[in-house]
Amino acid sequence: MHYITIQGKGRMVLKNTTLVIITFFTPGHIRRAVNPDRLRGISAPLSVLSFIRYQFLMAGPRFSIATCLLCLIFFITLMFPLAEKSNAAVTIQDEKKIGKELYDKLKKNNFLIEDDRITEYVTRIGNILLKQGRSSPFDFTFSVVKSSGINAFATPGGYVYVYAGLIKVAEDECQLAGVLAHEIAHVKARHIAKIIEKSKKISLATAAAILAGAFIGGDAAAAVSSFSMAAASTLQLKYSRKHEEEADTFGMGYLVAAGYDGQAMPEFLSIMRRYDYYSSAVPSYFLTHPGTNERLTYLDQLLHTKYTERGERCIVGSFDRIKTLLVLTEKNNILSNIRLFEDVISSNPHDVDALYGLAVLQNRVGESDKSITTFQKALTITPDDADILKDLGITYFHRGKTKRAIETLRHAYAIGTYDCDTLYYLGRSFEARKNYDAALSVYKILHTEYPDHTDVLYNMAMCYGKMNHTGESHYYFGRFFHKKGKRKSALFHYRAARSALPQNSQQAQDLETHIDTLTKAEKDKKRTDSQKYLIN
C-alpha cells in the first residue's frame, strides 16, 4: 500500500494510483502543498513548474478556482508515479531478513574472519555497549571483515561489521569501542530502514546487494546476488548528515555510559581520515558516513559540555593480542609479517604479542625449532598465557615431543582459559603415548563442552578400539559418520554397536533413536529416487 498525504484543511490521499478522498482545498493549501521539495525527483518540465509557482506568487487571494483546479489536476498527475515507486514501511522482520541474507552470504563466501578469539573479543565490547541506552528488537551479531580497508558498517537487523584493517590502525580498545557504538546507534535508530523507505530505487529484494556494494564493494555485491553490478554501483547508499549526528550523539552516550573515554570517538575519526587520505581502498568509510568536519565539531562540543569526565581506555583487555591474531589470519604476506614482528621485537624484546606472532609464523614456514625457542622466550615473560601455551603444546605434539606437549597443554587447561584445540591435542598426545584412559577422559570433556567437534568422535572410537571395547568403538564410529552425513557407514556401525553393547545401557537406548532416524531417512531417499525414476 502506498499513501501520500497532503496536510491542510483539505486532505488528499492517494492509495496506489487511486484517488480516494479529495475534499475542500483553498489556493493557500495548494500553494503550501506545491512545494518544490515535495516534487524533488519528479521529472516535470521545469518551465511548467516555474509557471505555476509564478501564478501562485502573483495571484495571491485572487487566484481563480479554474486555475486552482488546473493546478490540482497537474499536481495529481505528477504524484501518480511517485505513489507507484515509493517503498512501503520496512518492518522489523524485513530488517532482520535483509541483515541475515547479507550476513549468511558474506559468511558463506568467506568474507568474514572465522577466528573465535577475534569475533568473541569484538562481541564482548559490543555487548558492553548494548547494555547502555534504549533497548532494541534485534539480537546483535558482531563480525570482522577480512580486509585491510579501514571501514566499519552496520546493516538492518543488528549486524555490525568492522574491517580487520580498522582494528589494526586503532590505537586501543576504546577507539574500536567508539566505532562500534556509532554503528550500534545507526542500527537502533533504524537509519537504513528509513533510507530504503524513502528510496525510489532500492527495494527489499535488492537491499542486501546494494548494502554489500556500498559497504564492501563490488566483489561482495556480486557474491550476494546476481543483481547487476552496473546498477548497484549507481545506487549509492549513504547516511544523511542528520543520521550521522544521531549516531554520534547516541553512540557517544553508549560509549561513556559503558565507562569508556568519549574522547576516543573524535580521536579515531581523525586517525581514520588521515589513513583514508593515503589509502586507495574502495569503498571508503567516508563515502557512507558523510560530514566528518561537522562530526568532529559536535563530538568536541559534547565532550566539552555533556561528557567532561574521562573514562577508561580499556575494559575487556588484550587489544594487542587481537591485533597479532589478525596478522596471523593472513595467509599471504607471511615473510613480511615475520619481518614486522622482528622489527617490533628489536625495539622492544619483551613485546609478548610480537614474540607470540613471530613464533606462530616461524612454525608456519617450517622453522619449528626456532618457533619453540621464540614461544619459550615469550613464556618467560608471561608464563600463564593460554594462547602461547596452546600453540607451543601443539608444536611439541607435531614434533613428536608428546611428553612436553602434555605438560604444556595441561598447564593451559589448568589456568582455565583453554579452547577446543587445547583439549583435542592434549587428548591426542595421551593417545600417541598409548595412555587411552587419560585420552578418553580428555576427549569426554571436549565432547561435552564442544558438542560440534566432530573429529573427537573418531578419536574416541579409535581409543575404545585399542582398548578392545568393541561396542563403544562402533558406537562412536557411528556417531562420527552420522555427523559427517555418511548414512550407510553410520548405520553399519550403529547396528554393530547394538549387537555388542549391553541392552540396558544408555548408549543402547540412544542407538535405537539414531537407527530409527537413519532408517527412515534411507527409506525416504529410496522413495524419492524411485519417484524420480518414474517421472523421468
Question: With left for phi above 0 and alpha for psi between -120 and 50, is residue 465 left, alpha or beta?
Answer: alpha
Whole-number Å distance between alpha carbons of 488 and 478: 10
Tell me whether residue 244 or residue 431 sits nearer to Zn ion (CB atom): 244
User: Angle between the 264-278 and 241-257 helix axes, to the nearest 10 degrees?
Assistant: 130
Tell me whether residue 182 or residue 498 sits nearer to Zn ion (CB atom): 182
Tell me whether residue 238 or residue 444 sits nearer to Zn ion (CB atom): 238
| Residue at 526: amino acid letter | K
Give how far Cα 382 sits from Cα of 187, 347, 351, 352, 389, Å: 40, 19, 10, 7, 10
CA-nearest of 224, 274, 271, 266 to 244 is: 266
Residue 64 φ/ψ, nearest 5 degrees: -75, 150
Tell me whether residue 245 or residue 510 sits nearer to Zn ion (CB atom): 245
Site map (CB under 5 A) of Zn ion, residues 215-244, x = contact: -----------------------------x
Instruction: Mark out the alpha helices in 3-64 (DSSP H runs).
Output: 27-33, 46-59
Which residue of this chain has its Cβ atom nearest to Zn ion in the complex?
289
Stretches 21-29, 44-52, 245-253, 525-533: which one binds Zn ion (CB under 5 A)?
Answer: 245-253
Residues 6 or more apart whose Cβ sits within 8 Å of residue 7: 32, 33
Smallest separation, CB 266 to Zn ion (Å): 14
Smallest separation, CB 248 to Zn ion (Å): 8
Tell me whether residue 167 or residue 460 sits nearer to Zn ion (CB atom): 167
Smallest separation, CB 345 to Zn ion (Å): 38
Does 289 bind Zn ion (CB under 5 A)? Our answer is yes
Question: Based on the number of CB atoms within 10 Å of its own CB, is 266 exposed (0-12), middle (13-18) or buried (19 or more)?
Answer: buried
Tell me whether residue 105 or residue 289 sits nearer to Zn ion (CB atom): 289
Tell me whether residue 237 or residue 501 sits nearer to Zn ion (CB atom): 237
Stretches 121-129, 247-255, 474-482, 519-527: which one binds Zn ion (CB under 5 A)?
Answer: 247-255
CA-nearest of 97, 104, 119 to 220 is: 104
Smallest separation, CB 286 to Zn ion (Å): 10
Number of residues that bind Zn ion (CB under 5 A): 3
Stretches 169-177, 223-231, 288-296, 477-485: which one binds Zn ion (CB under 5 A)?
Answer: 288-296
Tell me whether residue 183 or residue 353 sits nearer to Zn ion (CB atom): 183
Smallest separation, CB 289 to Zn ion (Å): 4
Smallest separation, CB 186 to Zn ion (Å): 6
Site map (CB under 5 A) of Zn ion, residues 121-140, x = contact: --------------------
CA 78 remoteness from chain centre = 42
CA 121 remoteness from chain centre = 13
Does 247 bind Zn ion (CB under 5 A)? Our answer is yes
Residue 498 φ/ψ, nearest 5 degrees: -60, -40
C-alpha cell at 472: 563403544
Interface positions with Zn ion (CB under 5 A): 244, 247, 289
